[in-house]
Amino acid sequence: MSLNVKNAPGSQVLKRRDRVNGTHVVMAFIAFTLVTLIGSNAWLAWRGYEKELGLAKESSLNLAHAVSQQFDSVFSDVDRTLENIGFRIEQGNMSRQAIKALQPELVNSLSRSDHLHSIFVFDRDGLSLVDTQPRRSSSTRNADRPYFLAHMTNPSTRMRISAPLLSRTTGTWVIPVTRRLNDGNGNFIGVILASIRVDYVRDVLDGYAIGEHGAAGLSLADGTILVRRPFDVADLGRNIANPHITAGLKSFRSGTARMVSPVDGVMRVLGFEFTQNHPVVVAVARAESEILRSWWRSLFIQSIMVLVLSVFIAIFGRFVVHIIRLRSQERLEIERAHQQVSEANLRLQHLAAHDGMTDLLNRRAFDARAAALVSHSARHQRSLSMLMLDVDHFKAYNDHFGHQPGDECLRLVANALKSAARRPADVLARYGGEEFIMMLPETDAAGARTIAENAIQAVRALRIDHPRSPLGIVTISAGGTTTQFAPPMALTLTELIEQADAALYEAKTGARDGYREHGARPQDR
């Protein structure tokens, strides 16, 4: 029951006003404005970033699709050429002389094509039977070429696209497209080769606008580069297989990705697509630095503008806050004075209602609280108990130790009694001298006995030395009474106090350090 002026009504009002005063509102508004401004700028920048990357992915995928269709048509045209030649050779069981007679037809096929470099027919030993070269090259032998070795061991007659190689007849880089030749029994009898000019593929890729640092290329499904832009001879036939990339290519026929190039280490936005009928992947990529160049420029200008505006808002806000603080100073001083008066009134009210030594309710405050409790209990016909408690042999304690230790003893006893009367509705007061009183609403006789015994035990537990007491420590005696406020047991406050006082007298005249209940039979005590 100690006084806490921080929780006084005047103090709480002042705190609430401080929290919602004009300064805080203005500062919160400025902070909200700045956060909103900066947040909006960041959000717009992020949306712009995502939009640029999204457009780049869409553009790369569209270009990859266009390039894929173009080269699918090229490889299909070569496939038809190989198929026609192979069909005539295999079905006609042509002799070497008859095969050599096909040269004009091969030259005619070559002249109708922009992409073909040459056409060769090799026998089972890799010797050239017929070709489209101006100079007869019957001595040309390609049995050591990887594509030739592959056809020797694989009975399939499907078209095979191999890594680029340097032509032995012209010294030109070409992409070999080959087909196996079988006899009537399915035995290997040779290979047909139609080579595609690497320069033709380069010219096609160079025709697409993908930026200075963009890249485009054709590669086999296993990661072998056929042709790449920017062109470098060292990249021809280079394998850039990556387990993650290869797995992704197998899962999707087309798609986009944002990745660092395994060839030159440039971060690019990539679009890729398989040709529809052949195991060739077309990839078109734009450098991320070029994609985001205009975005970075816009972000820089926008950020400068937001920064300038933020500084202006902060300066203006500081000026407004300063004005508000000046105008609020007098109001705060008045409220502070009001708070001091309110706190002084609270202290006076507390002092008027509480005992100065024990900080318990004094007798006058107890009488007012007790009268209200009696009235309430009588109106609702609820039980009410009254306890009178007195320190045993206190005069002897005072005579032995003096008044100051006596006052300290009473304070300790009061604190012990507080631990027994812990319910919010219980009323504990110093009734006079070493005497205390408790009012226990909605408590029957058994409950009153329990609380009284708890109080007696709490005082014993203090173990305050008392040489002039038979028990050697400070103890208390307690007397109590209970009423149900039902006729004929309705009692007045004065009657309750008298009965409790009479029960206390019985306890004091007995062995003390115990509890007596008014009206209880001796055998019940």
Give catalytic residue positions.
434
Measured CA to CA in angstroms, residue 80 lies from 25, 174, 180, 278 at distances of 81, 19, 14, 13
Measured distance CA(448)–CA(440) in Å, rounded: 7
Where is 229: in which H helix or E strand?
Answer: strand 225-229
* Backbone CA torsion sign across 194, 197, 198, 200: negative
Q: Which of 143, 127, 111, 110 is nearest to 119 (CA)?
A: 110
- The answer to whether 230 and 215 are in contact (CB under 8 A) is yes
User: Which residues have C-beta within 8 Å of that of residue 342, sequence separation ≥ 6?
Assistant: 8, 9, 10, 11
User: Which residues have C-beta within 8 Å of that of residue 478, sequence separation ≥ 6?
Assistant: 387, 388, 389, 390, 452, 455, 456, 504, 507, 514, 515, 516
* Structure tokens that stand for 506 in this block: 């019985």
* Structure tokens that stand for 524 in this block: 């019940």
From its phi and psi, is residue 485 left (phi > 0), alpha (psi between -120 and 50) or beta? Answer: left
Provide the 3-class DSSP secondary structure of residue 268.
strand
* Structure tokens that stand for 295 in this block: 């975005």
User: Which residues have C-beta within 8 Å of that of residue 148, sequence separation ≥ 6?
Assistant: 122, 126, 142, 178, 191
With tokens 């609430």, the residue in question is: 16
Measured distance CA(31)–CA(409) in Å, rounded: 58
- The answer to whether 106 and 119 are in contact (CB under 8 A) is yes
Measured CA to CA in angstroms, residue 118 lies from 234, 355, 457 at distances of 23, 119, 116
Please, where are the H alpha helices in 181-242? 198-206
Report the Cα–Cα distance between both ends of the chain, in Å, rounded: 34
With tokens 């909605």, the residue in question is: 442
Give the residues across from 179 on adjacent strands: 192
Give the residues across from 286 on adjacent strands: 269
Rg (CA), the chain: 53
Measured distance CA(479)–CA(513) in Å, rounded: 11
User: Which residues have C-beta within 8 Å of that of residue 490, sequence separation ≥ 6?
Assistant: 378, 483
DSSP state of 137: -
